[in-house]
A and B are shown apart, each in its own frame.
Chain A
Amino acid sequence: MAVFLQNLVNALQWGSFYALIALGYSMVYSILMLFNFAHGDIFMVGSYIGVGVSMALIALSAWGNVVLPNWLILVLTILFSMFLTSFVGMIVERVGYRPLRNAPRASAAITGLMIGIILETGNLALLGARRVSFPSLIATATYDLGGVFVTNKKIMIVLVSLLLALALHQFVRRTKWGMAIRAMAFDFSVVPLMGVPLNRMIALTFALGSALAAAAGILFGVAYPVLDPYMGILFGWKAFVAAILGGRGSIMGATLAGFLLGFTEIFVAMIFPSTLRDLIAYSIILLILTVRPHGFFGEPYSARLRL
């Protein structure tokens, strides 16, 4: 039982990253019906921006004799980095996606992939190949709950990601902008005629998605403090799987599917020999999709590819 609970805790943490990144995919998908394949690399950029911001804040508090508590630095880092990374997302949209708005979706996917490669290589050229360690802002405290080990970081990560998912949900449900996004997801061509600024709304979804990716990147840095320019690739592709598994453009679905993917990976490694983890985990996903071809919350796919 302790083993099960321990892995449950592990899976909650691991799944929160997938969930946060999958949300970014889902946001963009809901309007544009295309997946931003540069998203994994935006996650990477967000993480690096987080390192920069937190170092700057630490330096600032040392220099200005204003002693900021570490938790405040972390909160500020998350907020600032989300803000900055959302601009990265908007630039990516402006450069890579807006010129291709009427092109086949697959072409936009290729541009996304290529922007991702540019972000990776650009980082490599700028910062060199050294791995960057995320500054440890909060000390790890480990609690032993009857054989189940929980750290303060794990609790924080799970809570923050659930909070962000909830905030996004509220934003989309309750605000005027959220309503515009939902309306455009419903009908892309008519809503702009009602006076909703199309380009601004699309930029907004990219900004929101990228901000979430930045949050994920910083939480990732807190949990796994070793960053490298290629860290976003595999993570991005796996979160892409989660985003689709959840059903296209569904916030709830993406969150759930993110956690589900984390659970699958962790529990498969627990039950089976861990060498077979990918083999079994992805066979399960293949099976799920064969039985439920449209994910959990997606409607049957009748729209054809815009090609």
Chain B
Amino acid sequence: MAGNLWKPYSRVPLLGWFFGALVAVTLERLAGAPLAQFLGLQKIPVLFGFSDMLKTPVSIPNVLLYLLAVYVVPAAAVTRLGASPANGIAAALYRFPMAVTAAVHLALLYAVLHVWAGASDYRVLVLRLTLIAVMLTLSLNVINGYMGEFSCSHPGFMALGAYCASVLTIGLFVDAELFGAASLSPALGRFLFPVALVLGGLLASFGGLFVAIPSFRTRGDYLAIISLAFLFIVKSLIENLEFVRGPRGLSGQPDWADLPTVFLWTVLCVWSVNNFVRSTIGKALNAVRDNEMAADAMTVDTRKTKIAAFLFGAFWAGVAGGLFAHVMRYVNPGNFGIQNLAEVLAMVYFGGLNSVYGSIVGAVSISLLGEALRPLEIFKWIIIPLLLILVMIFRPTGLIAFRDLDVASLLKPKANPGEGG
């Protein structure tokens, strides 16, 4: 029965799913509020109704009904009925250069997210932070998953990026007491913001050198504590730097990390990480992980590979840190500690090692779970670890491990439109 129901959907291209989702979220924007009211819900269930259901169990059928009426049924209907036109469009798009095809898909994806998030500022915030988590997880997966090291320094890289970008934007564009009057006009800032982020990423890369160079001679557990020591050092360094106000933290970052900006950077990050791990150097990473000596013997330049992985991973962690600072509009060395480390590690290993898909799934699911289980208060931090332990026991490498993200096959039409679909 389920198989029969599912069968027509196996031929829906990605584009078709996007169309379906777009219709569903548009429907929610148009008719969500009255429908929610009709069902006795106070507002549109913000994150698929999890917190409503946990808080007032009596509303569970209403929330489910709402989800069915707004998301599941319209999306399912549109996807199914629109499968063959979607395939037609996908086939037409497929003839264009890949960049164009991908851009159209991404624009559609952004439209879905934008319309969905537009219903509430809370959704926008959660989405921005989730996308940043995706970037962090991906960048850590390069080191921990693809290269197989156990690096603990990621919050440190993130802190370097966050502070560097914040100092630049506050110092140059905001009239803060700390750095004196703004020397550049804020109008210019929006264009120079990417530069600040990149510089933050570069500083993080520079920090990555301190972990990468010792990694020439050692690995595994020794590298783990080298990176851990690095994390302690960065935190202590920032606490002692008076010009970034030590433990008091820096506040007043301009509000430039809005949803389109964060989305664009995330896309850039996914794209570059995906290309990186599928390139020769990415294959070399796997070789180093599986057997360093053999890789060396097979003319893989292990030093270059290690340096590249650390610099690359640290760069994206730095950029993510910069974005994080501008979403929060406040940074404090306490934000980048052991707690943060445990969270990123959990996302990487939950989602799956050595896989771009896995990182995205891990970051999104842990972030959303953390929000959805809010009403449980303390017990949230018993449920989430338990879940992770179960995943580790039944899928030790994570949910979706060792899977390539092949953009071309992802965007391909699923059936030949000539067949009539």
The answer to whether any beta carbons of A and B sit under 8 Å apart in the complex is yes
Q: Which residues of A contact B (CB under 8 A)?
A: 35, 95-96, 99-100, 102-104, 106-111, 113-115, 117-118, 120-122, 124-125, 233-234, 237, 240-241, 244-245, 248, 275-279, 282-283, 285-286, 289-290, 293-295, 298, 301-302, 304-305, 307
Query: A111-B392, A114-B392, A234-B338 given. 7 additional CB < 8 A pairs?
Result: A125-B378, A241-B229, A275-B240, A283-B229, A286-B226, A301-B218, A305-B148
Bound CA–CA A118/B293 (angstroms): 39
User: Which A residues are CB-close (under 8 A) to B101?
Assistant: none
Query: Which segment, of B83-91, B128-136, B382-390, faces chain A?
Result: B382-390
Interface size of B as a range:
35 or more
User: Once the chains are docked, how many angstroms separate the CA of A304 from the CA of B295?
Assistant: 12
Most buried by B among A110, A233, A244: A110
Which residues in window 36-79 of B have CB below 8 A to A? none
Q: B253 an interface residue at 8 Å Cβ cutoff?
A: no
Which residues from chain A contact B379 at a C-beta distance below 8 Å?
A: 121, 125
The segment from B159-167, B179-187, B345-353 that touches chain A is B345-353
Q: Is the CB–CB distance between A104 and B396 below 8 Å?
A: yes
| Cα distance A155–B378 in the bound complex, in angstroms | 40
CA distance in complex: A100, B342 (Å) = 19
Specify the chain A residue showing the minimal Cβ separation from B346: A110
Q: Which residue of B lies closest to A98 (CB)?
A: B393
25 A-B residue pairs with Cβ-Cβ distance under 8 Å, sorted by A, are A35-B221, A100-B393, A106-B150, A106-B353, A107-B396, A109-B150, A114-B346, A114-B385, A114-B392, A117-B381, A118-B382, A241-B225, A245-B225, A278-B232, A278-B233, A282-B229, A286-B210, A286-B214, A286-B230, A290-B213, A295-B222, A301-B219, A301-B220, A305-B148, A305-B289
- Asked if A282 and B389 sit within 8 Å, CB to CB, the answer is no
Please state if B393 and A99 are interface contacts (CB–CB under 8 Å). yes
Contact A276 B240 (CB under 8 A): yes
Would you call B397 and A104 a contact (CB within 8 A)? yes
User: Roughly how many angstroms separate A100 CA and B397 CA in the complex, as a whole number?
Assistant: 11
Q: Closest CB-CB distance, B354 to chain A, in whole Å?
A: 9
- Contact check, B232 vs A282: say whether CB atoms are below 8 A apart: yes
How far is B220's CA from A304's CA once the two chains are assembled, in angstroms?
8
Complex contacts, A244 vs chain B, CB 8 Å: 221-222, 224-225
B235, CB-defined interface residue at 8 Å = yes
Q: Are A307 and B382 in contact (CB under 8 A)?
A: no
**By the criterion CB–CB under 8 Å, are A289 and B389 in contact?**
no
| Given contacts A241-B225, A278-B235, A307-B289, A106 and B214 within 8 Å (CB-CB) | no
A-facing residues in B204-250 (Cβ within 8 Å)? 210, 213-214, 217-222, 224-226, 228-230, 232-233, 235-237, 239-240
Contacts of B210 in A (CB 8 A): 286
B240 to A115, Cβ gap below 8 A? no
Q: Check A283–B397 contact: CB distance below 8 A.
A: no
Please determine whether B229 and A115 come into contact, CB atoms closer than 8 angstroms: no
A107 and B397 form a contact (CB under 8 A): yes
- Tell me which residues across on chain A come within 8 A of B409, comparing CB atoms: none
Tell whether, in the assembled complex, residue A110 and residue B382 are in contact, meaning their CB atoms are under 8 Å apart.
no
Q: Is B144 an interface residue (CB 8 A)?
A: yes
B299 at the interface (CB under 8 A from A): no
